[in-house]
Structure 1
């Protein structure tokens, strides 16, 4: 009779995400995850190759959550401008709820910790769709990359406390996003003419 499973991959990933959020990626150890899920550390290797694989699972889980939130935000409206605002608001909210996992996901990752391409393609779908509707299908990828780079840059600076000149950061975020949406839309319209 086989021995019963004492943990699951989902439980391991949830424990790892909690550890990362509490103390950053440097605090993530196989031993700490094992303790949290109630097994001995060697038992984790039945489900996870090594620490980099564990980091990959945390990043993929975070990317999946981002994808769900982006799609839900995009689905709330048919207006692509409003959808982009809703998606960026959703991403920003997640970043503030889970800053360590967010920064891990968008930071440099060691080999073996990078998410699978399919995971990235799933999360890119709503951004590519709305970018294409704003800039035109021929420039959807360029517009999506520009939008993603701006969102991530703003959020990373916000999380690190880099905005130190005073003023209203929320107002700056709204202003910058509106200007970017306008530029993407107008750039796409000029190219279509």
Structure 2
């Protein structure tokens, strides 16, 4: 087995993200990460304080991944579609980021900046935070239900998502009362 000096923090985080996707939150353990990167579990503690710190590192890397995806596209529809695609590609990371409280404040802010900028462009600076919260809540709720298989009435979910994007975009572009 390698020594911790031969294992980078980036490799540890990448292993953690992969294990999270493969086994859910229960699969993200110090022992599993140590095995994946080729060190003994006690050696991993020289790089990562504990499981909570590991979860935070994984959540922050997930937030950075999401922020990068937002930056790769422009405009409201494209960014919201990137958010949905991200959730489908990394459902456990999505859940960790949005429902566990594991990410640091800095990680959340990095992932939020593109959404705030988009909300500012749609509804103006005065209402950017409210608009960003509306968009995030709608998209997170829709995608969460979709991932859980909770839409039981049939219909085309892609079409429903696009309908939501169009309606929210239109509503946010109108002057606030």
TM-score by length of 1: 0.87
Aligned length: 175
Q: Does 1:101 align with 2:93?
A: yes
Q: CA deviation at 1:147?
A: 0.5
Question: Which residue pairs with 1:165 in the alignment?
Answer: 153
Q: In 2, Cα distance between the equivalents of 1:57 and 1:102?
A: 14
The correspondence for 1:87, drawn from 79, 87, 98, is 79
108, 113, 121: which one pairs with 1:120?
108
Offset of residue 119 of structure 1? 2.0
Larger Rg: 1
CA contact (8 A) 2:57 2:103 kept: yes
* Structure 2 residue aligned with 1:38: 38
Task: Specify every segment of 5 or more residues in structure 2 that has no aligned partner in the other structure, as ranges.
Answer: none
Matches within 5 A, 1:175-186: 175-186=163-174
Alignment map for 1:1-193 (pairs within 5 Å): 5-74=5-74, 83-109=75-101, 114-186=102-174, 189-191=175-177
Change (3 A) 1:167 1:6: same
3-state SS of 1:5 partner: helix
Which structure 1 segments of 5+ residues have no match?
75-82
Provide the alpha-carbon RMSD of the alignment: 1.3
Q: Deviations over 1:38-89 (max 9, x none)?
A: 0000111111110011011110000000000001112xxxxxxxx0110011
User: Are residues 104 and 141 of structure 1, via their aligned partners in 2, closer, same or farther at CA, if it must alter by over 3 Å?
Assistant: same
